[in-house]
C-alpha cells in the first residue's frame, strides 16, 4: 500500500498517472508458441482496451516471427497503421498505409487479402480530408 504524507495536487496526480501509464505500457512477454492468429487476436483485444503499445508489440511480433506469411504481414501492417491513425499520428499512418498499398502492386497481389487494400484506401481518404480541413478550416463547415 502506498502511504501519501502530503495532500496531492493536480500536478501530483498527473505525475502518478503518468508513472502508472508508463509501467502499464512497457514491454510485454509474448509467448513464443503463439500462432499468428493468436497474436492478431491479442493485438485486437489490447487495441480495443486502448492499450495501443501492447497491441503494437503483438503486431510487431507477427512481423518478426512470421515474415514469410504475407497474409499475416498484411494484417499486422494494416493494424499498426490503423493504430497510428487512431492515435492521430496521421503522417505516420499515411506513410504506413501507402507502404502497405505498395504490396498490392506486386505480381503476387492477387494472393494478398484484398480487404486491407480497400480499408487502407478508405482510411487514407479520411486522413487526406482531415489534412484539408486543417489547412482550410472554412472547408469544415461546407
Digit-coded pLDDT (tens) for 10-45: 444 344 444 344 445 688 999 999 999 999 999 999
Residue 60 has pLDDT above 50, yes or no: yes
- Spatial distance between the Cα atoms of 93 and 89, rounded to a whole number of angstroms: 6
Other residues' Cβ atoms within 10 Å of the Cβ of residue 73: 19
- Is the whole model's pTM more than 0.75, yes or no? yes
Q: What angle do CA 101, 27, 33 make, to 5 degrees?
A: 75
**Which three cell numbers, joined as nine digits, stand for 6?**
502530503
| DSSP 8-state class, residue 106 | S
**CATH 1.20.58 for the 30-137 domain, yes or no:** no
Give the per-residue pLDDT at 140.
54
Average pLDDT, integer, range 84-88: 97
CB 122, CB 115: distance < 8 Å: no
First to last CA, the chain: 55
Give the per-residue pLDDT at 25.
60
Amino acid at each position: 500500500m502506498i502511504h501519501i504524507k502530503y495532500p496531492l495536487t493536480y500536478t501530483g496526480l498527473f505525475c502518478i498517472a503518468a508513472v502508472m501509464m508508463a509501467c502499464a505500457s512497457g514491454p510485454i512477454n509474448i509467448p513464443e508458441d503463439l500462432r499468428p492468429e493468436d497474436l492478431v487476436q491479442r493485438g485486437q483485444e489490447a487495441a480495443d482496451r486502448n492499450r495501443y503499445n501492447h497491441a503494437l508489440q503483438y503486431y510487431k511480433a507477427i512481423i518478426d516471427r512470421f515474415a514469410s506469411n504475407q497474409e499475416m504481414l498484411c494484417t499486422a501492417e494494416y493494424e499498426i497503421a490503423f493504430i497510428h491513425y487512431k492515435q492521430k499520428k496521421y503522417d505516420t499512418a499515411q506513410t504506413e498505409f501507402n507502404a502497405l498499398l505498395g504490396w498490392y502492386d506486386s505480381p503476387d497481389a492477387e494472393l494478398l487479402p484484398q480487404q486491407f487494400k480497400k480499408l487502407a484506401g478508405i482510411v487514407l481518404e479520411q486522413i487526406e480530408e482531415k489534412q484539408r480541413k486543417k489547412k482550410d478550416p472554412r472547408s469544415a463547415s461546407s
